[in-house]
């Protein structure tokens, strides 16, 4: 059985008077015994073992299983078995990951700000959760990253398209509200949907990093422009969450440090219980995907590799580049590899493959005056440790990578190595570096987890009436 079943049986306790021991094979699949079905309204089915009946219910599907719990009293306890409904969630819902369902319903169901009971596992009925999730409306998810915007339906397996982000959309001199309205209208037109028919979840890049009054005012101004433009398109409810927080949710965590390698800059964002800890300090490195692509182009030109477009350079970076665990040792190796670029022929790269990503750790290679990525992360870890915030003292030791460039092979291992060299053991021991769980689309999938909650839209969203009646909204930034 999947890990979620183990968690269900270990953490969530539920009891039924009709539960008793069954065959050893059923016991091996879960730490609790399966219920024995008793009663006289089952006819000849009464002689079948409960594990066989469970397999029959799985084949019947959720609707027929629910009907049986009404018409057959003897099957009621078996139909209510959490394992059966976890199976249905894994096989019949848009998100097949049972682990994601368990994380969502136990950590995020109360909405933001999180309730004080988070961490105290509730008694869950996955049959009820299944029914609630089936009724959740489909949502438009717009992940407005700093490079490209990914959009699509929450009920779909992945984003359905991408466009320029709203930060670079339309006339740069236009007021923010005008640009946002044009941007959201364009997305709805491309998706062929009416904005007044379903909720919208907006994922936005971390910006205005500081905790100063000026930065707060800038964030507030942007928030109001986003909500105003969407509500003027008659969107019923809106949920806006920053990109770093959504990346953390996609990794099935609510606390940790997110390293978001964006288009122009890299941000190291400490997040505790879903809230960005700006007072602890968001570290920013003036290096992003654009600088790495430019440096990669320079290296190719120095080696007389001819190309027609920057797109080809970016493709080669994504397909052939990686992060060296030991840069000096890698220089002594034969690292040649080739890739056939559409319309441009075969390209063979050697040291460019790892020299490009090395800029993250040695910015001076690209002529950039900045601290290395590992140094900025170590500084954030030190600040988190010194802050001594309430809750789990090791919350900051979960480090989640996000962004397309963060998908480069070897990055997580290199960061882990460098942090252990920079930090004392009491800080570095237990640190876990998680690569982007869903690649470049990780924040989009974090929004998908929220959109399919049994309690969505609920506390996660703001209505037009609430927005007009603010003065102060609990928006997640």
The end-to-end CA distance of the chain, in Å, is 37
Same domain, 339 and 449: no
On whether residue 309 sits in a domain, the answer given is yes
Same domain, 125 and 66: yes
Provide the number of structural domains found in the chain. 3
The pLDDT of residue 169: 60
The whole-number mean pLDDT for each consecutive block of 10 residues of the chain, a chain of 477 residues, reads 40 33 33 44 75 90 88 85 88 72 88 67 82 90 83 91 73 74 91 92 83 84 89 94 95 96 93 92 92 94 88 93 97 95 91 96 94 97 90 90 95 98 95 95 94 91 87 52
Cβ-count burial 120-150 (b if 16+ within 10 Å, e if not):
ebeebebbebbebbeebebbbbbbbbbbbbb
- How does strand 432-434 pair with strand 398-402? parallel
| Peptide linkage before 139 cis (omega within 30 of 0) | no
Same domain, 371 and 340: yes
Helices vs strands, H then E, count in the chain: 20, 14
On whether residue 13 sits in a domain, the answer given is yes
> Is the whole-model pTM more than 0.95?
no
On whether residue 408 sits in a domain, the answer given is yes
The pLDDT of residue 36: 46
Same domain, 148 and 165: yes
> What's the CATH code of the domain at 416?
3.30.420.570
Same domain, 277 and 386: yes
The pLDDT of residue 474: 52
The pLDDT of residue 117: 55
The two most distant CA atoms of the chain are separated, in Å, by 83
The pLDDT of residue 211: 80
Same domain, 144 and 274: no
> In terms of residue numbers, what domain contains 102?
3-135
Of all helices (H) and strands (E), which one includes residue 326?
A: none
Same domain, 276 and 385: yes
On whether residue 415 sits in a domain, the answer given is yes
CA distances from 220 to 118, 150, 210, 211 (A): 28, 24, 13, 12
On whether residue 269 sits in a domain, the answer given is yes
Same domain, 126 and 157: no
Q: Residue 51 and residue 151: Cα distance in Å, rounded?
A: 43
H helix runs in 359-463, sequence order: 373-387, 411-422, 425-428, 442-451
> What's the CATH code of the domain at 452?
3.30.420.40
Same domain, 271 and 416: yes
Of all helices (H) and strands (E), which one includes residue 401?
A: strand 398-402
The pLDDT of residue 34: 44
The pLDDT of residue 259: 97
Q: Across-strand partners of 434?
A: 400
Which tokens go with 393?
Answer: 């003292």
Q: Residue 203 and residue 444: Cα distance in Å, rounded?
A: 7
On whether residue 476 sits in a domain, the answer given is no
The pLDDT of residue 308: 85
On whether residue 474 sits in a domain, the answer given is no
Same domain, 341 and 372: yes
Same domain, 226 and 273: no
Which tokens go with 194?
Answer: 């009416």
CB 242 within 8 A of CB 226: no
Q: Across-strand partners of 275?
A: 272
Of all helices (H) and strands (E), which one includes residue 203?
A: strand 200-204
Q: Residue 243 and residue 222: Cα distance in Å, rounded?
A: 15
Same domain, 238 and 288: no
State the Cα torsion 380-384-385-390 to the nearest 10°: -170
The pLDDT of residue 23: 31
CB 181 within 8 A of CB 233: yes
State the residue for tokens 């299944």.
Answer: 130
On whether residue 348 sits in a domain, the answer given is yes
């Amino acid at each position: 059985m999947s890990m979620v079943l183990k968690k269900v049986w270990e953490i969530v306790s539920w009891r039924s008077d009709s539960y008793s021991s069954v065959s050893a094979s059923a016991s091996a699949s879960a730490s609790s015994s399966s219920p024995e079905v008793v009663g006289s309204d089952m006819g000849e089915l009464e002689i079948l073992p409960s594990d066989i009946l469970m397999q029959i219910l799985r084949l019947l599907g959720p609707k027929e299983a629910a009907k049986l719990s009404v018409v057959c009293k003897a099957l009621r306890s078996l139909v209510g078995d959490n394992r059966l409904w976890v199976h249905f969630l894994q096989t019949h819902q848009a998100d097949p990951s049972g682990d994601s369902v368990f994380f969502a319903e136990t950590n995020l169901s109360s909405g933001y700000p999180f309730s004080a009971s988070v961490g105290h596992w509730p008694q869950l009925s996955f049959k009820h959760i299944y029914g609630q999730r089936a009724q959740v409306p489909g949502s438009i998810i717009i992940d407005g990253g700093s490079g490209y915007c990914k959009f699509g339906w929450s009920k779909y397996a992945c984003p359905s398209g991408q466009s320029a982000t709203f930060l670079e959309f339309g006339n740069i001199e236009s007021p923010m509200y005008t640009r946002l309205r044009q941007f959201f209208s364009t997305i709805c037109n491309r998706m062929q949907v009416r904005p007044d028919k379903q909720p919208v979840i907006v994922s936005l890049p971390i910006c205005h990093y500081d905790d100063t009054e000026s930065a707060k005012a800038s964030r507030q101004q942007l928030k109001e422009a986003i909500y105003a433009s969407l509500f003027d398109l008659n969107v019923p409810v809106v949920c806006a969450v920053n990109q770093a927080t959504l990346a953390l949710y996609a990794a099935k965590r609510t606390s940790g440090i997110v390293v978001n390698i964006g288009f122009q800059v890299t941000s190291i964002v400490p997040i505790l219980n879903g809230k960005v800890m700006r007072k602890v300090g968001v570290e920013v490195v003036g290096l992003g995907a654009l600088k790495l692509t430019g440096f990669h182009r320079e290296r190719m030109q120095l080696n007389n590799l001819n190309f027609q477009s920057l797109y080809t350079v970016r493709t080669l970076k994504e397909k052939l580049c990686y992060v060296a665990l030991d840069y000096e040792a890698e220089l002594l190796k034969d690292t040649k590899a080739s890739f056939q670029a559409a319309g441009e022929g075969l390209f063979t790269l050697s040291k460019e493959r790892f020299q490009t990503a090395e800029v993250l750790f040695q910015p001076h290679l690209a002529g950039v005056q900045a601290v290395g990525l590992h140094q900025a992360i170590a500084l954030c870890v030190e600040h988190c440790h010194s802050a001594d915030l309430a809750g789990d003292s090791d919350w900051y030791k979960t480090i989640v990578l996000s962004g397309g460039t963060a998908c480069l092979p070897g990055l997580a291992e290199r960061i882990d190595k460098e942090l252990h060299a920079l930090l004392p053991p009491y800080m570095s021991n237990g640190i876990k570096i998680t690569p982007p769980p869903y690649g470049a689309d990780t924040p989009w999938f974090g929004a998908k987890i929220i959109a399919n909650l049994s309690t969505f839209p609920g506390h996660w969203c703001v209505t037009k009436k609430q927005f007009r009646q603010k003065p102060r909204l609990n928006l997640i930034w």
